[in-house]
Structure 1
């Protein structure tokens, strides 16, 4: 008969802790950014588009590690609010180039302070050394297991091959 995990063992598993940390991270971000009305996914999309205007939907999804359905849902919400614009891409009229609108850029600027507060609140329980260690370990974990992801993560500079 297989041995079952007790709850102490379950609660100490990395998957459980990562999921719980993600829940807390999203809640902290949403609480801090309530005044600007942005979710973590929306903030990520706006941030990537500010850094790499004109990305197509597939490249944007890869830049955030989103699946196509998620990025489409986020883009529809942002477009409804007038925060992004989609236009035919210069290189291929079949693809749409996505960029921030003036309103989107203004909202992203307004969101910087609450997003920074959310980051500070999330990291508050950790010492400076622990913060660095946490980020480094998460980078090792995600890089080492990238081939297991359901959605690819390819930063825009890697996708285009530029050294930006």
Structure 2
């Protein structure tokens, strides 16, 4: 009796499908943001600041899924180009809260409309109930992965290495 090796069937793997969807979404977003002179991280930073004014470099980095160093470089560029402002001196501790300028808000409005069009296209074959369900299911997947440490998610019958 030959046993098949345990593996992932890419046709049915949810992880693979999510990665494929993420890659397609990223490509579509890059395509609409590039003509605006923006990257996805640039857009994400402006969107985060519009929705949560005064975030710190570290908070922006976490929200945009980049390192603090990468966010600091981006913020310096955005500040130089007049899209954001930061106080010269820290307000508390070492935190320099970032704020959008009017120029940053105008650029964000254009970019947000383009990104919304991409998201609308992505979900165009889903009805309202399916869209809500997909959002709920994805949020639950994220919660499960963040709440359950990888070591606790050992496959049945396997043992951790000693």
CA distance in 2, matches of 1:18, 1:80: 36
CA distance in 1, matches of 2:148, 2:44: 22
Partner of 1:22: 22
Partner of 1:159: none
Q: Structure 2: where are the runs of 5+ without partners?
A: 150-162
Q: How many residues align?
A: 146
Could you say what secondary structure the match of 2:86 adopts? strand
Please say if 1:128 is aligned against 2:128: yes
CA distance in 1, matches of 2:22, 2:148: 18
1:18-49 deviation digits (Å, cap 9, x = unpaired):
11111101111122333323233222211111
Q: 1:21 to 1:142 in 2, by over 3 A?
A: same
CA distance in 1, matches of 2:132, 2:78: 33
Partner of 1:146: 146
CA distance in 2, matches of 1:40, 1:148: 29
Could you say what secondary structure the match of 2:37 adopts? coil
CA distance in 2, matches of 1:146, 1:52: 23
The TM-score normalised by the length of structure 1 is: 0.73
Q: 1:125 to 1:39 in 2, by over 3 A?
A: farther
CA distance in 2, matches of 1:70, 1:23: 21
Partner of 1:114: 114
Could you say what secondary structure the match of 2:85 adopts? strand
CA drift at 1:82: 2.8
Q: 1:143 to 1:71 in 2, by over 3 A?
A: farther
The TM-score normalised by the length of structure 2 is: 0.74
Partner of 1:54: 54
Where relative contact order (Cα < 8 A, 6+ residues apart) is larger, the structure is: 1
Q: Structure 1: where are the runs of 5+ without partners?
A: 150-164
Aligned residues: CA RMSD: 2.6
Partner of 1:78: 78
